[in-house]
């Protein structure tokens, strides 16, 4: 009888844990949830950690060297970065290519001012539920995801400016 | 009200856990984790609710003015007088009351946040105690001294040919290590007996050259916690970094 009760308790515990994990993970990587922290190698050399930029508005731009729209979006983001950097705006380009060499070559050719990060293992892409490229994720000064854009238009960044201004003004 | 709930529900759960009753622990741990998850999910909502309440006094004042302007024009003069009187009365009362209410709510919210943080800390300690019991616990720490000949970039840790940790250090973290900080690179469980640990360090060596070096230690895990330290020092005579693994007895 005692063993049966213990067994039941274990089952209840497992069910509760699954529920707790499910409720906390179901929304992970979506707007309104804390941005998953990561550290990645950058094209410039040093490793960069997202949480070290707490206090800044951060935009993650997931891209691939085979994506033409990404090229246009990265150029637009670079212009935004130059304008809003003094106001506490940071952009991280996160490359999801398998071939790191091709990605480095692409990043070097773009001559972008913001850091380009490499995620060949796709661990960060998985954490942010990247299911389309390009994809933009806006993170506020408190480290919460506020907006996700999966638009494949080259003007997506321009359309994004009001959102960024709101976040910067907060 | 919510604060009381946290104290009433949260504390006894922690207290019961520490009684180490093996039959109760899993269920209570799960309940505590569920409570923590709920609190973490509700945290941002509470902050937004507080923001909304803080914004309320402005809305009341604006509402008062709007009401005064929108008074029906059947008796224009009297209505205007009423409106002026209302508008004149409002600022005298509203600011005196609303800031106090807002402050009270603010204090309660801060207290709630503090309780959530305390509960989170207690649960974290409890989780570590349960997941890494003292008799099987192994912890590996990284420390650096001087760092003239080596700039740490990453660390890969293998125990018994199994990769257990792979950590990329940012510049800030490397600086913190140079200032005397110690980083816990791994915390896990190992059976009693002989084990082998291999640590592979990568970074920039002398003359900014890419540097990769390994250090190996065979150690005996007895009953009780095991602490190992990966120490990076400079060997001035050879102008090279030195990597050693120290077994804290």
**A23 and A53 both lie in a single domain:** no
Q: Which of A9-13, A136-140, B61-65, B91-95 has the highest mean pLDDT?
A: A136-140
- How many C-beta neighbours within 10 Å does residue A51 have? 13
Residues A5 and A87 in one domain: no
A36 and A92 share one domain: yes
- Which pLDDT score, from 0 to 100, does residue A152 have? 78
Q: Is there a single domain that holds both residue A61 and residue A6? A: no
Nearest to A20 among B23, B24, B34 (CB): B34
User: A99 and A122: one domain?
Assistant: yes
CATH code, domain with A83: 3.40.30.10
How confident is the model over A129-157, as pLDDT tens digits?
A: 998 888 999 999 999 999 898 887 777 77
Alpha carbon of A12: minimum distance to chain B alpha carbons (Å): 7
Domain identity same for A78 and A108: yes
- Can you give the pLDDT of all 170 residues of chain A as single tens digits? 455 445 655 565 555 555 555 555 556 778 889 999 999 999 888 899 999 999 999 999 999 888 888 888 888 889 889 999 999 999 999 999 888 788 888 888 888 889 999 998 899 999 999 988 889 999 999 999 998 988 877 777 777 788 888 898 88
Tell me, yes or no, whether A16 and A97 share the same domain: no
Report the pLDDT value the prediction gives residue B48, as an integer from 0 to 100: 47
Interchain proximity A9–B24, CB inside 8 Å: yes
pLDDT 10s digits, B23-35: 445 555 566 666 6
The number of helices, as runs of H, and strands, as runs of E, in chain B is 4, 8
Chain B partners within 8 Å of A32 (Cβ): 44
**Closest among A52, A25, A31, A38 to A139, alpha carbons compared:** A31
Residue B169: name the closest of B190, B189, B147, B188 by CA. Answer: B147
**B59 Cβ partners below 8 Å, 6+ apart?**
none
* pLDDT exceeds 80 at position B11: no
Looking at the structure, tell me whether residues A35 and A105 fall in a common domain: yes
In this structure, the answer to whether residues A123 and A139 fall within a common structural domain is yes
What does the pLDDT average to over B42-65? Answer: 41
What is the Cα–Cα distance from A91 to A93, expressed in whole angstroms? Answer: 6
User: Which chain A residues contact residue B185 at CB under 8 A?
Assistant: none
ipTM: 0.73
What is the dihedral sign for C-alpha B27, B33, B37, B40?
Answer: positive
Residues A53 and A135 in one domain: yes
- Residue scoring higher pLDDT (B38 or A44): A44
Q: How far is A47 from chain B (nearest CA, A)?
A: 5
Which residues, at least 6 apart from A120, have a Cβ–Cβ distance to it below 8 Å? A96, A97, A98, A100
Q: What are the b/e assignments for A20-31, b being 16+ CB within 10 Å? A: beeebeeeebee
**Residues B23, A20: C-beta atoms closer than 8 Å:** no
CB B119 within 8 A of CB B38: no
B18 vs A59, residue with greater confidence: A59
B159 C-beta neighbours (distance < 10 Å), count? 20
Shared domain check, A150 and A98: yes
d(CA A13, CA A8): 8
Domain count of the fold of chain A:
2
Range of the domain at A13: 1-28
Number of cross-chain residue pairs from A and B with Cβ atoms under 8 Å apart? 57
Task: Assess whether A114 and A128 both reside in one domain.
Answer: yes
Chain-chain contact of B31 with A16 (C-beta, under 8 angstroms): yes
A 10 A CB-CB count for A82 gives 12
Is A47 in contact with B24 (Cβ distance < 8 A)? Answer: no
Chain B residues within 8 angstroms (CB to CB) of chain A: 23-24, 26-27, 29-31, 33-34, 36-38, 40-41, 44, 153-154, 168-173
Interface residues of chain A, partner chain B, Cβ below 8 Å? 5-6, 9-10, 12-17, 19-20, 23-24, 32, 39-41, 46-49, 52, 144
Give the range among A52-56, B87-91, B167-171, B241-245 with minimum mean pLDDT: B87-91
What is the average pLDDT across B44-52? 46
How much of chain B exceeds pLDDT 70, in percent? 59
Model pTM score: 0.62
Average pLDDT, chain B: 71
Q: Cβ–Cβ of A9/B29 closer than 8 Å?
A: no
Residue of chain A minimizing CA distance to B28? A13
């Amino acid at each position: 009888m005692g063993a049966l009760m213990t067994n039941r308790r274990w089952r209840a515990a497992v069910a509760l844990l699954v529920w707790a994990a499910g409720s906390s993970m179901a929304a992970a990587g979506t707007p309104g949830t804390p941005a998953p922290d990561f550290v990645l190698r950058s094209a410039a050399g040093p490793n960069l950690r997202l949480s070290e930029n707490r206090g800044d508005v951060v935009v993650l731009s997931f891209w691939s060297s085979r994506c033409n729209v990404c090229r246009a979006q990265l150029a637009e983001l670079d212009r935004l970065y130059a304008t809003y950097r003094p106001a506490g705006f940071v952009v991280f380009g996160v490359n999801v290519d398998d071939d790191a060499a091709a990605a480095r070559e692409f990043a070097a050719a773009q001559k972008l001012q913001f850091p380009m990060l490499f995620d060949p293992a796709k661990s960060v892409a998985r954490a942010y539920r990247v299911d389309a490229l390009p994809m933009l994720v806006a993170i506020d000064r408190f480290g919460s995801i506020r907006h996700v854009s999966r638009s494949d238009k080259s003007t997506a960044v321009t359309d994004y400016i009001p959102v960024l201004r709101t976040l910067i003004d907060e | 009200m919510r604060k009381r709930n946290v104290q009433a529900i949260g504390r006894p759960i922690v207290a019961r856990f520490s009684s180490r009753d093996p039959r109760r622990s899993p269920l209570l741990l799960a309940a505590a984790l569920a409570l923590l998850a709920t609190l973490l999910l509700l945290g941002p909502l509470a902050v937004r609710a507080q923001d909304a309440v803080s914004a309320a006094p402005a809305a009341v004042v604006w509402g008062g003015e709007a009401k005064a302007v929108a008074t029906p024009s059947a008796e224009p003069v009297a209505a205007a007088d009423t409106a002026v009187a209302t508008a004149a009365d409002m600022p005298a009362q509203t600011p005196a009351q609303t800031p106090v209410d807002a402050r009270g709510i603010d204090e309660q919210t801060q207290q709630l946040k503090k309780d959530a943080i305390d509960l989170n800390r207690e649960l974290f300690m409890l989780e570590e105690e349960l997941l890494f019991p003292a008799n099987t616990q192994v912890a590996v720490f990284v420390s650096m001294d001087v760092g003239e000949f080596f700039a740490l970039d990453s660390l890969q840790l293998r125990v018994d040919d199994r990769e257990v940790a792979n950590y990329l250090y940012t510049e800030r973290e490397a600086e913190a290590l140079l200032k005397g900080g110690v980083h816990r690179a791994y915390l896990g469980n190992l059976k009693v007996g002989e084990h082998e640990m291999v640590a592979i360090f990568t970074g920039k060596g002398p003359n900014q050259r890419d540097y990769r070096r390994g250090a190996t230690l065979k150690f005996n895990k007895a009953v009780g916690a095991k602490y190992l330290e990966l120490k990076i020092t400079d060997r001035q005579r050879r102008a090279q970094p030195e990597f050693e693994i120290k077994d804290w007895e």
